[in-house]
Structure 1
Amino acid sequence: MVLETATHGRALLVTLNRPQQRNALSAELLAALHATLRAADADDAVDVVVVTGADPAFCGGVDTGELARTGVMPEYTSPLPVIGKPLIGAVNGAAVTGGLELAMMCDLLVASERARFADTHARLGFLPGWGQSARLPRAVGDRRAAEMLLTGRFVEAPEALAIGLVNAVVPHDELLDRALAMAAAISDCGQAAVRATVALMREGAGLPLAEALALERTAALRFQGEGLDTSRLPGG
């Protein structure tokens, strides 16, 4: 199977499983990812999705062998579908080009000490088409993003943490435990608020500050108007 899933409490662990191809995104794997995450989004038993790769790589990007044979770029407009639940990327190894774009779609990133990050679109003579030129500058700043996008150089795990590309770097054998602990902490929160916050952050990410503040105020008033769950409050 090109994709494996396992349930851990209220988290769904999704593992890209093409290790001999460095978990490259074939048409089959992309279809499986989209179907699996859409199903998780509709499953009331799932609060959080954790995405990782079968060692040694996280994801080597689009399957260039398949691309060379077919001459057809993947039909999907993103490596993952947009879902309403938090996504945690557990980056166990190299996340390259389309694999980095996949990682950048996650709300939180935990990296193994073995993780490496690079965007090689320009080296290969391509333009990114899954959001890299927009998401990467927002994550690490314009100049660092420009260096990664224009030179294709690899960023090792410690530097990725220093520049804000990932939330944490942990020993390799602790990666999944850390990501699943983060998922459990999210599950302990009020899920209506979690999903509303995810939507708010994503929608406000590209807005000027004044518009983002207005968006938050409108969302908060609407959320309050739908009835607050006071049971989680101290003394509630």
Structure 2
Amino acid sequence: MATDLEIVCVPALSDNYVWLIHDPVSNETVVVDPSEAAPVLAAADERGWTISQIWNTHWHGDHTGGNAAIKALGAKVSGPLAEADRIPTLDTGLREGDSVQIGAHVARVMETPGHTAGHIVFHMADDALLFSGDTLFAMGCGRLFEGTAAQMFTNMQRLADLPGDTAVYCAHEYTASNGRYAAVAEPDNAAVAERMRDVDASRAAGRPTVPTTIALEQATNPFLRASSTEQLAERRAAKDAFRG
């Protein structure tokens, strides 16, 4: 599914990706999870864009560190209501089923606790876009810092049910490491080996490996493909200890 939104990847910190979303019709610009302000503002300025909104998926500093400086220029901050006490710049708290907009484009909020207690993701169904923060990665999922394997399994099941052509914009470049673990978790999965050839080529050329798609994750992500809470828990523990 095509979208007329312009989406720009802004690398930040050591391995973060910040996403700029621009609607050429309304001339509005949103930034998702600005870990730091300087590269985000530079990317927007380069294009003549003014950031009017910040969408946060969770409270971690590598997702909110740029909030204050960007907000000072006029942007409004929306993020998880459950983490309002940990995001001091927050203007609007969001719950499951709430929505935010950029122009006429609507993003519905899905609560995906696990990585943090109040983590949310933004699903733009009409544009076939998902901004997944640290819940769903290319061939991975977020560490369970504040939640449970049962919660993450529910998240994976919900996200796996989205249309396969949904483009997934996650917040870190973890794909190579995730893929090496996926090859261990599912050694007979030929789709993983095939995908890793593309991943290795992209990284060698200095290109991001994301966005991915729900269909690609259905085929190659050992966490999205887990058949039970127990299997997800086993795989998450194994990935936490993985050094490959």
Confirm or deny a common fold (TM above 0.5).
Answer: no
TM-score band by shorter chain is: under 0.3
- Pick 1 or 2: higher relative contact order, CA cutoff 8 A, min separation 6: 1
Calculate the TM-score normalised by the size of structure 2.
Answer: 0.25
Structure that is richer in helix per residue = 1
Larger radius of gyration: 1
